[in-house]
Structures are given as structure tokens and as C-alpha cells.
Amino acid sequence: MSKTRTQQYKQDVNEALNTSRLNDALHRFGDAYLEARQRAFAELDFEQLRTDIAEMKDRVLTSRASLREQFIREARAAGATVFLAADAEEANRYITDLAKANCVRKVVKSKSMVSEEIHLNKALENAGVQAVETDLGEWIIQLANQRPSHMVMPAIHMFRDQVAELFSAETGKTESDDIKHLVDVARRQLRREYLDADMGISGANFAIADSGTFGLVTNEGNARLVTTLPKIHVALIGMEKLVPTMDDALKIIQVLPRNATGQAITSYVTWIRGAVPCGDVNKELHIVLLDNGREKLAESKTCKDALRCVRCGACANVCPVYQSVGGHVFGHTYIGAIGIILTAFYDGLDKAAELVKACIGCRACVSVCPSKIDLEEIILQLRQQVQEEEGMGLGKSLLFRKVMRNRRLFHALLRSGAKLQKPVTGGSRTIRHLPLFFSSLTEWRSLPALAPEPLRDLMPKQQQKIGRQRYRVALFGGCSSDFIYPELGLDLLKVLNHFGVEVYFPEKQNCCGIPALYSGDRETAQEMARQNVAALLEDQPDYVLTTCPTCTMSLQRDSVELLAGEPQFHAQAQQLASITYDVSRFLHDVLQVDISQLKTLPGDDGDPLKVTYHDSCHLKRGAGVWQQPRQLLQNSGHEVVEMSHADRCCGFGGSYSFTGHPDIANAILADKLNDIKHSGVQCVAMDCPGCMMQIGGGLDHAGSPVRTAHTITLLAETLE
């Protein structure tokens, strides 16, 4: 069952990846969005605003029952009828019954994602009521018989010629594909519908508890017509839209349009409280408050933050996976990162299962979320639930449970792997072709070979020459540094020794646990965390350093969370978290080294080496480190050139690029290689062995002369 589903999903992914017009459009959109957003927030403190919104939304969550009661009381006092719908079926039945009782033949709708969620149009159609979407994008989608591919711009996947075709069919004339003309056609065609309709249906962006008001944030003006002309107005509102006061809603207004479209404010914000005049009588106002999985979400300890969402759609706008495959593939009713989570609760985990695996975990969404939702963390939790229900496949399961938990066995296997790979590598450090059914893995990038001797064997042989000793630090290698790029550890040793730091390698350290955790095997990750906490603290180092930001994040964040229920380990995990640093941040922030005393190595032309810096997802958005490595490179005499999208994911994502979604990983890598090429540098620097594998492999495969290097290696080279 799940196998067929996975195959079908991979097929959808491939089709989408091959639709270059869509990919181009979404990439251009992503670029324009970032610029517009930056301008819109220029004079505001985004961090403060989103912290305030998150806190307010958390208060709402705690007191949701009393706020709901208050809203209902106030709205009723102002003349509205309020109905609480437990699920889609109840909401649809209420609205269709209302339509039938009032002999409604036609309904005009303004944009409502909730109505998409409950498939209201279908229900109305079955009841013999015609529903006309009036938001331009929604109308296009309705005519095309599709579903939205973006929460704010539902028809972003369609092009003017396709729209012209749809409109021509509607008007019976040949309509040109001039966009202004097409907009005029929509204005003309829909104008009649507002005047003919017997009922208007809108959504809402806020439901304000202390006055019974709801608010609509719109640009086109259709919602104002929908809520004015027909005699009956139904407002369909998800429970999560509750806010305590008008001031809380205004706070969201400061952020929502800016984060959605880069506008300081939309053309219209409409505040409706109660039954207002309509001709000679008062309008009949019905408010349908919908649960449909929201209460279950509120009760979920690990996922409840998703209810903070204000539906700006930003998580999709910045998502490299969304930009590669679009919202029909990377979403269900709701799309992007938040869409994955809502799908799990509103439509069922089965509908979300492929989506949770399609997230590459780059945290771009987390950095722009206006409600400070840790979307990646929640998606991770859901992935775990999927694995628990469906299993992760025998191979992976064996690897994690039987091999990786047993460090000696795991490392013994890696050592024999280093010997057995000779026929493939020919003794070189790069694998360019793999035989037979593995060949697809090297179709688009070379892979690094396992090093002949791992770091754990090399370290004890090093002579440490330290002048005045400042610190003694433990090095956490991480699998890729230990077994693939041991030179990173040696470079670290060389640089730190130079600055008076002794480095040792705790032998009992194991894999950081992220591969298991990201594949949904929490138990193995917990066991790794226990082993590492004990191994790293055993000899009481001043600090623990890494050359891999994913390992850093694992030691700093995940270990603490994973061991929260184990008193004997939790305090140690917290201690470990507090002394763990990636090497760039340690050099810059802790040692505050004067790097200019290092000798500068010029490039081939005698000028300083031109370097561009690639921000690794987990370093910039996990640890908040991005200025430090640039500063170190610059101060050590390199010319740092910024490439476009420096902090966009490279598409590695660990097993994502091997077994998960190598095709998407390849598409994302292609974007990165393109940006590197256009920066015109000789070297691309980074602080992550995973990124080195992906970018280095991609550059090698493309025959590019650009070198891939870890920041610590470039620093080590400047030492005599």
C-alpha cells in the first residue's frame, strides 16, 4: 500500500521536475519575494514582532475554550448566527441546508482555504447550488477544475496562455493573453455573478473574541462585494483564527501582508461585526466555526505550534523543494511546510506520509515564519510517526538498530568498506562511477571515497605543538569527518594548536544520531545521544568542537530534547550543549583570534584567492552562525565574493539525496552550482562535510575548476 503510494509520488515528482516553465516561474517568484519582503520589513523588528505573535497565539491556545465562548457571545449579541462545526461534513451540511432553506441557486465565494479544506464547492454542487469563485486565482482554478498550488496565489502554476484559453471557453470569444485584458474579462464576467447571487461565502483572517468581529485581508475587492451584495453572508472560519482583541489582530496585520507578498498592507482590510444593513433589512450573517482536526492538533504536544500559523504562505515561497516541484506535488489542500503538518491533522497521516519525507530539512521556512513555528522540527516528529506506523524498510532499520547502536560493529564495517571500495575508486579519493544498480547515485555527482585511515586512528599519532596553552578541547568528528574527510580534523588540530589549544579525540564517540532521527528512528537516536554524552564529557574538556554543523545541532539541540525524560543523562546533555561549538564560531567568538597574523596564500594569479561562501542550513539557521566564517576568511586574506542565494540549501540532506529524493536533491544542487559559477570564484568555502560532498561532487561531475573547501582547511593552509 505505502509502496505503491511512494512509487506514485516519485512519479509525480519526476513529472514536476520536468516542467521547466513551472520551475522557472517559481524560482523567479522566490527571488522577487525575498527582495520585496526585505523592503517591506526594512524599518520593523521582525524578530520582535514574530516573538510577540507567537506568545499571543500560545495564550490563545491555552484559553481557546473561553475565547471561543466569548467570540460566540459577542457575535450573537451583534446579530450573527454562530454554528460550531466539528468536521467538514457538519460544516457542509449546515451551509447546504441553509442554502436550500432559502432557495439559494447561486453562491459567490471570496477566497477561503477552509472551504477548499472541506470541499465545500462539491457539497454545494451536490445540493444543486452553483458556487462561483470570485478571487481571480480561485476562479481560474475553478474553471480549470484544479486545486490551488499556493495558499496566497492559488494559480501560480498557470500561465497567461492557459488562462486565455479558459476565459475564451467561458466567454465564447477568443480572448487575447494580455494580462490586463484577462483581468478585465474577469471583472466583467464576475460582476454579474455578485448581483445575481443569493448567498455570499467568505473566509476570515481573524476572529476577535472581545467584540465578535472578524477580519478579512484582501487585495482584489471581491470579498467586499461578496460580503455586501447577497442578502445572506456565511463566514467560514477555522478555530485557529481566534485572537483576544483588535490590537492582537492589528499586530498580525503588521506582519501578514509584508510576509505574504511584501506589501506594507493589502488594498483592503475589512472588519465585520454582526448583521449590518442590506437594502431595507439587516443582512443574515452566519458564522461557521470549524474544528475538523484543530482540537486534535491543539492537544498534540509536539505539533500544536502549527496552530499559530497566520496563512501567509511564506514557508512555501522560500522552500527549495517547493520551488523545484510546485504546490500540487509538495502539498495537499494546504501547501509547503505548514501544509504538510495541517494535512496530517485535517486529512490524515496517510495523506501526509509522502510529504513529510519530501521535506529536505533546510529550515529556510523556519527563518521566515511570522509565528515562529519550528516547522522542520514538527515535520520531523510527523516523519517519526509515519515510520512507526509504516516501518522504515528492513535495510535502514537493520543499519540503525543493529549496526549503528553498536559502535564497534559500525566502525569495523566502515573500516572494511575503506578496503573493499578499491575496485571502484582505483585508490583515488573520489568515486565517479558505481557499478550496476548503484549507478544512479553517481549520475549527477561524484561521491567521496572512504578515507584509507579514519581520523580516530590518525589523531593519536599527531604531535601537538602548543605554546602557552589556553584550552583543552574534545573534537567530535562525526562520521563524515572521521571516515571520509579526516583531513578536516587534522586541519582543525593545526589551527587550534597554533592558537594555544590542545585537541583530543574521545575514542568512544559514535555517530551523532541525526541520520537515525531524520529517518524517524528516535530510539536509535536516543541511544547515540547517551553514548556521546558519556564519551565526550568523560575527560572534562573545556569545549567540544565539531567541523559539521549537523553534528553541532544534534549535540546542542537534539540530545537535550531526546534525553529530556532521563534525569541521569539530561543534565549532562545540557552541559554538553553549553560547551559545544562549531570550529568557526569557536575561533571567532571564543578565542577571538587575530587571524591576520596568519600568512596569506595568494591564488594562482598572485592576487588573493577569490572565495565565495556557502551557508550550510544547519550552521546558519540551526546555530545562527554565518558572519563568523566570512570574517575569518576575509581576515586571513581571502577575497570573499557573495554569490546569489548563498544560504539556499545545496540539496544534500543526508539520506535525502541518496535514497529519499535524489532527483529533487539534484535539481536543488543544479541551482547551487549555477550560483557558484556566476560568482566567478576559484573556491567555494563552507563549514559542512555534507555540503562538501554534495557541492564538491557536483562540481567534480561537471568538470568545474572551482575548488570546494572547508573553512578550517583554508585557514590551515595559511599557516606555515
Partner 1 sequence: MKSRNRINLFQQAAESAGAVVYHCQDVNDAAAYIAEHAGGALLYAPNDSLEQLGFSPALSRSEVSLLEMTSRLDAADAVAGLTGSNYGLAETGTVVIDSTAELVRLASTLPERHFVVLDPQAILLGQQEAGQALRDLQHQQPADYLSYITGPSRTADIERVLTIGVHGPCELYILLLSAVAQPEKGVSS
For residues 135 and 376, which CB has a smaller minimum distance to partner 1 in the complex? 135
For residues 159 and 438, which CB has a smaller minimum distance to partner 1 in the complex? 159
Cα gap 364→38, rounded to integer Å:
15
Least separation in angstroms between residue 156's CB and partner 1 is 7
- Neighbouring C-beta atoms of residue 34, cutoff 10 Å: 15
∠ Cα 321 326 328 (to 5°)? 120
Cα-atom radius of gyration of the chain, to the nearest Å? 28
For residues 140 and 562, which CB has a smaller minimum distance to partner 1 in the complex? 140
Q: Residue 471 in 3-state DSSP?
A: strand
Least separation in angstroms between residue 71's CB and partner 1 is 14
Q: How far apart are the first and last CA of the chain?
A: 61
Closest to 60 in 3D by CA, of 246, 312, 257, 240? 240
The DSSP letter of residue 694 is H
Least separation in angstroms between residue 113's CB and partner 1 is 15
Sole residue written with cell 565565495: 612
Return residues touching partner 1 (CB under 8 A): 25, 29, 32, 78-79, 134-137, 140, 153-156, 158-160, 163, 179-180, 182-183, 186-187, 190-191, 195, 211, 213, 219-222, 224-225, 227-229, 245-247, 250-251, 253-254, 261, 264-279, 282
CA distances from 416 to 58, 249, 404, 407, 431 (A): 52, 61, 15, 14, 17
Sole residue written with cell 527549495: 320
For residues 254 and 547, which CB has a smaller minimum distance to partner 1 in the complex? 254
Cα gap 243→259, rounded to integer Å:
19
For residues 220 and 615, which CB has a smaller minimum distance to partner 1 in the complex? 220
User: What are the residues whose beta carbons fall under 8 Å from the beta carbon of 242, sequence distance 6 or more?
Assistant: 60, 64, 67, 68, 71, 206, 207, 209
For residues 253 and 303, which CB has a smaller minimum distance to partner 1 in the complex? 253
For residues 28 and 122, which CB has a smaller minimum distance to partner 1 in the complex? 28
Phi, psi of 632 (to 5 degrees): -60, -45
Cα gap 488→503, rounded to integer Å:
13
Least separation in angstroms between residue 24's CB and partner 1 is 11
Least separation in angstroms between residue 258's CB and partner 1 is 11
For residues 269 and 535, which CB has a smaller minimum distance to partner 1 in the complex? 269
Least separation in angstroms between residue 169's CB and partner 1 is 16
Least separation in angstroms between residue 259's CB and partner 1 is 15
Least separation in angstroms between residue 338's CB and partner 1 is 21
- Neighbouring C-beta atoms of residue 452, cutoff 10 Å: 16
Q: Which three cell numbers stand for residue 275?
A: 448583521
- Distance of alpha carbon 559 from the chain centroid: 22
- Distance of alpha carbon 471 from the chain centroid: 38
Least separation in angstroms between residue 40's CB and partner 1 is 11
Closest to 310 in 3D by CA, of 256, 380, 273? 256
Least separation in angstroms between residue 239's CB and partner 1 is 23
Least separation in angstroms between residue 612's CB and partner 1 is 29
Q: Which three cell numbers stand for residue 408?
A: 564497534
For residues 275 and 587, which CB has a smaller minimum distance to partner 1 in the complex? 275
Q: Which helix (H) or strand (E) holds 179?
A: helix 179-196
Amino acid at the residue 701:
H
Phi, psi of 643 (to 5 degrees): -95, 165
Least separation in angstroms between residue 117's CB and partner 1 is 20
The DSSP letter of residue 609 is P
Contact between residue 555 and residue 580 where contact means Cβ atoms under 8 Å apart = yes
For residue 592, with 0-12 CB atoms within 10 Å meaning exposed, 13-18 middle and 19 or more buried, which class applies? Answer: exposed
For residues 273 and 383, which CB has a smaller minimum distance to partner 1 in the complex? 273
For residues 190 and 306, which CB has a smaller minimum distance to partner 1 in the complex? 190
For residues 70 and 442, which CB has a smaller minimum distance to partner 1 in the complex? 70
How many residues are there in the chain? 720
User: What are the residues whose beta carbons fall under 8 Å from the beta carbon of 567, sequence distance 6 or more?
Assistant: none
For residues 32 and 564, which CB has a smaller minimum distance to partner 1 in the complex? 32
CA distances from 512 to 344, 522, 541, 565, 690 (A): 28, 12, 18, 19, 14
Sole residue written with cell 523567479: 28
Least separation in angstroms between residue 287's CB and partner 1 is 13
Least separation in angstroms between residue 161's CB and partner 1 is 10
Cα gap 718→653, rounded to integer Å:
31
Cα gap 418→441, rounded to integer Å:
18
Q: Residue 342 in 3-state DSSP?
A: helix
Least separation in angstroms between residue 311's CB and partner 1 is 16
Q: Which three cell numbers stand for residue 496?
A: 587550534
Closest to 669 in 3D by CA, of 653, 680, 685, 682? 653
Least separation in angstroms between residue 250's CB and partner 1 is 4
Q: Residue 582 in 3-state DSSP?
A: strand
Least separation in angstroms between residue 337's CB and partner 1 is 21
For residues 142 and 385, which CB has a smaller minimum distance to partner 1 in the complex? 142
For residues 214 and 345, which CB has a smaller minimum distance to partner 1 in the complex? 214
For residues 233 and 407, which CB has a smaller minimum distance to partner 1 in the complex? 233
Contact between residue 588 and residue 630 where contact means Cβ atoms under 8 Å apart = no
CA distances from 90 to 13, 86, 320, 665, 693 (A): 35, 6, 37, 42, 52
- Distance of alpha carbon 195 from the chain centroid: 42
For residues 86 and 264, which CB has a smaller minimum distance to partner 1 in the complex? 264
